[in-house]
């Protein structure tokens, strides 16, 4: 069974991700499944960064330990990662540029010289990609095709890159290929997609009819606004870079109040600034979707690394009480559909919906079959259209109803006015200090949580039913837990996974039942304190057996999860 990993390391700016991405496309187009991760530092040049991809014939969800091919663009990469090499693995490096003591694992490929011979030393990345394929004995033509797509069919840049890649490919075919133990070929030419979490979140927003995005750049959330800004012209979306996160969320709230689907995206630090705005959306009953792409905190923390330490923050953010939904997709595929659901929930319940991401989800790429657009149904809830004049007679924006949801008209509808307030207000939306009315308005808003709770999907289960060990996770740990379950099951152990990608309102019943069905339960969380474990305890009264935690800024591997079960 094919399971091969290629790691590409070097300094920021050397193009590790370009090589990785090119190869990921080559393999995906060949009918194989790829998962790739990015590890980078908060700098534009220098430092140590790597990108890694894993290739299998069946879907792949996580990175495991061990490397088959290490492409080292600098010496540090060799020093740091040579120990990860499997027996028989090869380190591709440019021996004419990097001086190291000869070793059987090292395969010098003159990346720089071959690139210059091809016309430009900038093409060294294509040489490296070609060299990796040559080692693997994989067909060359798919790489040429990808390079032509990336660099455009016209001009010499594409062809020069193809030439450079060919030089690398030929070089390793002649040197190194025969000793290299792992070989594989394209399976078929199924047209699968390769998509990162951030792209999927952004694409999901676009498909859901989001028309307005105001955000302030912050890693690892920036990819969402970048993607949508690139589509703004073609899709008639407004993407505004706000002056700060306070403006970002309140601008989106203003746009939503005026009637368009609106969102913002940020990381934990930016979300800190958005918190009062979240309450404003709750109080004014304005739909809003916020993506919170976590990174290690507090304060600036590790800007480019991953963590899941904002769960409790997001659940409780803002003073006062109001309903909210918190969703946490586990893969890029799920991220896409989650966004569509987030916009529907926000509009149906006229309240904020927070979608949790993190660096691991945002920056990792998955091969997926496709995204099914027929599953995207836009439900704008009780939004009144201007021609529905009978619904506008005696209109009150915050009318007290059984469901707690007040039919929503928009400013500009003839004959009525739409009024709302961040102060407690009466049904018309005007400021009030009447304590009885306050109670009724609170109850009205909180009643929306009953409907909202019914919309929340139960957790996803994988692996053994009634397991000896139940591994519990949320968000981006899906892949590592799932693969840990596969490995343990293959060793004959009865292990299952419960994954929560819709966390609030909390699906207490399903979680409690699952906890009872398992002999031992472990949460797997990228944080230091086990925030989901605490939430489970609070909502179900049940304690987990143990917590498998990681908060070094790096994602879980299946092996790390397995070692944590004690």
Measured between alpha carbons, how far is 534 from 563 in angstroms, rounded to an integer? Answer: 22
Task: Label residue 413 left, alpha or beta by phi (over 0 means left) and psi (-120 to 50 means alpha).
Answer: beta
Q: Judged by CB under 8 A, does residue 563 bind another protein? A: no
Q: Which of 83, 152, 394, 415 binds another protein (CB under 8 A)?
A: 415
As measured in angstroms, the least distance from the Cβ of 417 to another protein is 5
**280 is a contact residue toward another protein (CB under 8 A):** yes
Kindly state whether residue 187 participates in binding another protein, applying the rule CB under 8 A.
no
Q: Residue 66, exposed/middle/buried by CB under 10 A (0-12, 13-18, 19+)? A: middle
Give yes or no for a contact between 292 and 197, defined as CB atoms under 8 angstroms apart.
no
User: Exposure string (b/e) for 172-203, b if CB count within 10 Å is 16 or more?
Assistant: bbeebbeebebeeebeeeeebbbbbbbbbbbb
194: helix, coil or strand? strand
Does 278 engage in binding with another protein (CB under 8 A)?
no
402 is a contact residue toward another protein (CB under 8 A)? no
Say whether residue 371 binds another protein (CB under 8 A).
yes
Among 423, 516, 552, 563, binds another protein (CB under 8 A): 423
Q: What is the torsional sign of CA 214, 292, 229, 211? A: negative
Burial class (CB in 10 A: 0-12, 13-18, 19+), 19: buried
What dihedral do alpha carbons 445, 451, 457, 458 form, nearest 10°? Answer: 100
Choice from 59, 95, 209, 546 touching another protein (CB under 8 A): 209
CB-based contacts of 159, cutoff 8 Å, min separation 6: 148
Q: Which is nearer to another protein, 96 or 243 (CB)?
A: 243
Q: How far is the CB of 169 from another protein (least distance, A)?
A: 23
What is the total count of residues that contact another protein (CB under 8 A)? 69
Secondary structure letter of residue 385 according to DSSP: P
Among 75, 113, 148, 430, indicate the residue that binds another protein (CB under 8 A): 430
Q: Any contact of residue 238 with another protein (CB under 8 A)?
A: yes
Among 88, 320, 412, 509, binds another protein (CB under 8 A): 412
| Binding segment (CB under 8 A) for another protein, from list 36-44, 94-102, 373-381, 481-489 | 373-381
Q: Residue 363, preceding bond cis, omega within 30 degrees?
A: no
Interface with another protein (CB under 8 A), residue from 232, 442, 510, 520: 232
Closer to another protein by CB, 281 or 497: give it.
Answer: 281
Please report whether residue 416 would count as binding another protein according to CB under 8 A: yes
Written as six digits, the tokens of 289 are 């979707």
Cβ-based nearer residue to another protein, 378 or 443: 378
The residue written with tokens 């792992």 in the block is 182
Among 214, 318, 344, 359, binds another protein (CB under 8 A): 214
Structure tokens that stand for 496 in this block? 């299952």
536 and 523 in contact (C-beta within 8 Å)?
A: yes
Member of 57, 96, 244, 388 binding another protein (CB under 8 A):
244
Does 218 bind another protein (CB under 8 A)? Our answer is no
Binding site for another protein (CB under 8 A): 28-29, 191-195, 199, 203, 206-209, 211-212, 214, 232-233, 235-238, 240, 242-244, 246-248, 250-262, 276-277, 280, 284, 370-371, 373-374, 376, 378, 410-423, 429-431
């Amino acid at each position: 069974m094919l399971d091969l990993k290629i790691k590409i390391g070097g300094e920021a700016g050397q193009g590790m991700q370009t090589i990785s991405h090119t190869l990921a496309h080559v393999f995906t187009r060949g009918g194989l499944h790829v998962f790739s991760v990015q590890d980078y530092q908060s700098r534009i040049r220098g430092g140590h960064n790597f990108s890694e991809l894993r290739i299998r014939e069946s879907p792949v969800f996580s990175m495991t330990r061990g490397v088959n091919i290490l492409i080292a663009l600098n010496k540090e990469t060799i020093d740091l990662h040579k120990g990860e090499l499997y027996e028989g693995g090869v380190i591709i490096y440019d021996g004419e540029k990097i001086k190291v003591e000869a070793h059987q694992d090292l395969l010098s490929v003159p990346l720089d010289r071959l690139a210059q011979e091809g016309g430009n030393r900038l093409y060294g990345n294509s040489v490296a990609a070609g060299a990796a394929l040559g080692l693997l004995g994989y067909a060359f033509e798919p790489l040429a095709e990808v390079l032509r797509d990336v660099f455009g069919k016209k001009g010499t840049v594409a062809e020069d890159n193809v030439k450079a890649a060919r030089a690398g490919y030929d070089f390793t075919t002649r040197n190194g290929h025969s000793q290299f133990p792992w070989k594989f070929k394209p399976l078929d030419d199924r047209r699968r997609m390769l998509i990162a979490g951030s792209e999927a979140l952004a694409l999901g927003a676009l498909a859901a009819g989001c028309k307005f995005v105001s955000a302030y750049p912050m890693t690892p959330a920036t990819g969402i606004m970048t993607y949508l800004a690139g589509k703004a012209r073609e899709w008639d979306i407004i993407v505004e870079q706000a002056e700060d996160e306070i403006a970002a969320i309140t601008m989106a709230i203003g746009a939503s109040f005026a009637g368009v689907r609106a969102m913002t995206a940020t990381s934990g630090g930016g979300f800190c600034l958005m918190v009062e705005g979240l309450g404003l959306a709750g109080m004014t009953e304005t739909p809003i979707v916020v993506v919170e792409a976590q990174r290690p905190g507090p304060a600036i923390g590790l800007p480019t690394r991953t963590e899941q330490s904002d769960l409790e923050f997001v659940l409780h953010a803002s003073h006062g009480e109001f309903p909210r939904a918190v969703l946490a997709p586990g893969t890029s595929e799920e991220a896409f559909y989650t966004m569509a659901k987030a916009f529907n929930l926000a509009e149906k319940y006229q309240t904020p919906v927070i979608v949790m991401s993190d660096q691991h989800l945002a920056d990792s790429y998955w091969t997926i079959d496709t995204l099914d657009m027929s599953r995207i149904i836009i439900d704008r809830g009780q939004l009144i259209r201007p021609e529905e004049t009978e619904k506008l007679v005696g209109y009150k924006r915050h009318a007290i109803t059984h469901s707690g949801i007040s039919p929503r008209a928009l400013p500009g509808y003839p004959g009525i006015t739409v009024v709302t307030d961040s102060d407690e207000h009466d049904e018309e939306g005007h400021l009030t200090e009447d304590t009885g009315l306050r109670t009724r308005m609170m109850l009205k808003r909180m009643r929306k949580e009953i409907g909202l709770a019914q919309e929340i999907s139960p957790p996803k289960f994988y692996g053994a039913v009634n397991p000896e060990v139940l591994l519990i996770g949320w968000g981006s740990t899906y892949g590592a837990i799932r693969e840990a379950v596969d490995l343990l099951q293959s060793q004959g152990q009865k292990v299952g996974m419960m994954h929560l990608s819709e966390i609030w309102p909390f699906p207490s019943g399903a979680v409690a039942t699952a906890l009872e069905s398992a002999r031992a339960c472990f949460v797997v969380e990228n944080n230091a304190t086990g925030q989901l474990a605490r939430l489970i305890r609070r909502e179900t009264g049940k304690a987990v057996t143990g917590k498998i935690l990681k908060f070094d800024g790096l994602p879980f591997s299946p092996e790390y999860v397995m070692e944590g079960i004690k």
